[in-house]
Every structure is written in structure tokens, then in C-alpha cells.
Amino acid sequence: MRAFPASVLAICGLIATGCGGAVPGGASAGRAAEPAPAPPARAAGVATAKPLDGKVVVIDPGHNGGNYKNPAAVNRKVNVLTKWKPCDTTGTETTGGYTEAAFTWDVSNRLVKLLESRGAKVKLTRSSNTGVGPCITERAAIGNKAKADAALSVHADGAAPAGHGFHVIMPKKINGPVDPVVGKSSRLGVAVRDSFRKGTGLPYSTYIGSKALDYRSDLGGLNLSTVPKVFVECGNMKNPAEAAKFQDPKFRQRIALALADGLQHYLEA
């Protein structure tokens, strides 16, 4: 910057505006510039929109902890349109006795909390892990009655110990109530598969399905559904490595988060 003679500077001190100085009361007069006005505050009581606001989701924890106590009830045959099947089963368990029913109940409740925190209205097909049932036909009816935007049945498999990995089961057309939602169910299944793989790190099943996708026409929970629905077999409870993961609460939380992300991806698409 070029220096000015002292006389010029003195004159400028007397006539600030004549030499390009700030007007009296400005920032260069010893006061800070006026702050920019703050943005208007959000009105009290106005909630921030959540990604799943208005969505209805039904979560179906497979089996029930009390099923083994009432074999007559769970073995009662019901019509799933393509065949007659038992009302329900006890499910599988690890070699150490950790049951599929306990696993699905825990994961499903974690999943409910995550979905509700994102704005969804969520309904479970059973209210405890000490009862019996409901039948597979009733589980489908609960999703239908709720007019769910998506329904997910949570399971874990009981295959040969050497098999490992997860898979998603989707419905086929059977000339029945599920036919109109087979396409949507397929999209739901792919979304769940992709998020489950990313979120848990578990591989695709080595013993069933293609790229962790399996299509079936013998499951009452799918055949009788009028809403988009899939089953997820989270892995093989008879495989020692996966059994150990399933008994870890932190890993069950990872599973729940992966499933929540898959459902959200489908519902937002």
C-alpha cells in the first residue's frame, strides 16, 4: 500500500468521508458491524419429518417360545392353498440350546424400535416369547388387516453344520391372493438382501437359493399375504461360527439395523 504524507492523513481524520473513510457509526468508527439477522426459530411443537412417516410395517418373529409345550396346537393342519401344513413349528436351535424363537423375538423387537424411531407404525405378529403360535395363516392375516406397506418374517435356519450364510425367501404366483404383490415382494427381498449383506458382513447362503434369493410356493405366510412380504433366514444356527454371532447382542443389533435399512430402502423407492 502507498504511504500518504502526514498532512493528508490529518485532513482525512477531520473529514473522513472525503477520503473514502467509513461513515460515523460504522465498523471503522470503533463498533463491530451489525450481525446478520438470525433465521426464524422453528415453531414450538412442530416435529421434524421422519423418513418412514405414514408407513405401516408388520414384523413377524418366527415361531414362539411356548410352541413346544403344546404340540397338538402347533401340529394342527392348516390350508396354505398349495398344500396342508402344520399351524406352526418349534423352530430350530443352536447346539447349545439357544432357540430360533428367542433369536427372532430379540431381533424383531430391536427392529421395531429402529423403525419406530424413523417414523413407521409397526405391528408384531406375537406379543411375547412364552406363548403358542399364532398359526402361519394368522400371521399372514395380521399383515393383511394392517394393510402393511411391507411385512417381514424373521427366521434363522437349521441346516447341516457345514452350510453357512443367509438367504431371503420370496413368494411365487400361485393363482392366489399373493399374486398381485409378487413383484413388490421381489423388490422388497432384493432390498433386504443387499442391506443385510452390507450391514452384517454375512455371506450369501452356500446351500440354498441363488445369490441369497429363494422363491417358494409352500409357505402360508407368503401364499396368503395380500401385502408385500418376504422371509429372511438370517443364517444357519447349526453352523458354529454363525451360532456364536447370533448369541452376541451386539451382532443381533447389527442384524436389526441391516433389516431396518433394507425396509427403509424399499419403502422410500
Helices (H), the chain: 6-14, 71-75, 100-117, 136-146, 182-200, 220-223, 240-246, 249-268
- Respond yes or no: is residue 233 known to be catalytic: yes
> Bridge partners of 150?
57
Query: Regarding beta strands 84-86 and 77-79, do their DSSP bridges make them parallel or antiparallel, or are they unpaired?
Result: antiparallel
Pick the catalytic residue from 93, 233, 242, 268: 233
Give CA separation, 155 vs 109, 132, 169, 237, in Å: 13, 16, 10, 10
Q: How many CB atoms lie within 10 A of CB 47?
A: 8
104: left (phi over 0), alpha (psi -120 to 50) or beta: alpha
Active site positions, annotated: 233
